[in-house]
Amino acid sequence: MTLTFRDASVRLHRRSALLLTTLIFTIAATLPLQAQTAITATGGDTKMQYMLLIYNDPKMEPPYGTPEFDTMMSGFFALNERMKADQVLVSGEGLQGVETATSVRTRGGKVETMDGPFAETREHLGGYYVIEVADLDSALRYAAMVPSVAWGTVEVRPLMTYNPSGE
């Protein structure tokens, strides 16, 4: 399997702070609990994949075009480079704002779509990283390096696989 990281930092720099830090990733919440955690064997080392879900309150983040925003973006660029150098980065991306989201559900056999996110929350999902590391402690160390953790939240979740044998 080949994993390709599309460098989000260039595109993210061009987005407003709201667009930078607003993301929706609901698939992980819908996976069955009995699915096994994603573990891959590489070079004799057992590694796990974790998703770092980046939540921020748009009212708390630095405004686009300010020195504080530039500092935040520099922090994201540095984190991207650090994770690439450490060979733990699988993927990462920022999402457009919640105002661009469409939620889908099926009720009574009928597909329903709604503009915006399913739930109203103060913090919005603005981006994510998928990393492959040895354990939860390692994943938590990288999560603590996310610049917006100072005013937001980074949720760390192990990924699951439906093919634990790797075939």
First-to-last C-alpha distance (Å) of the chain: 10
The share of the chain scoring above pLDDT 90, in percent, equals: 53
The domain spans of the chain are 15-28+38-161
The share of the chain scoring above pLDDT 70, in percent, equals: 68
Q: What is the pLDDT of residue 119?
A: 66
136: tokens are 């939860």
Closest CA to 55 of 131, 149, 143, 145: 149
The stretch 29-46 carries a mean pLDDT of: 39
> How far is C-alpha 99 from the geometric centre of its chain's CA atoms?
18
pLDDT digits (tens, 9 = 90+) for 88-128: 999 999 999 888 989 899 999 999 998 876 666 778 899 99
Q: What is the pLDDT of residue 164?
A: 63
What is the rounded CA–CA span in Å between residue 104 and residue 106?
7
**R_g of the chain computed on alpha carbons:** 17
pLDDT digits (tens, 9 = 90+) for 116-165: 766 667 788 999 999 999 999 999 999 999 999 999 999 999 999 777 66
Identity of the highest mean pLDDT range in 57-66, 79-88, 100-109 = 79-88
Superfamily of domain 15-28+38-161: Dimeric alpha+beta barrel (3.30.70.1060)
Q: What is the pLDDT of residue 2?
A: 32
The stretch 65-81 carries a mean pLDDT of: 96
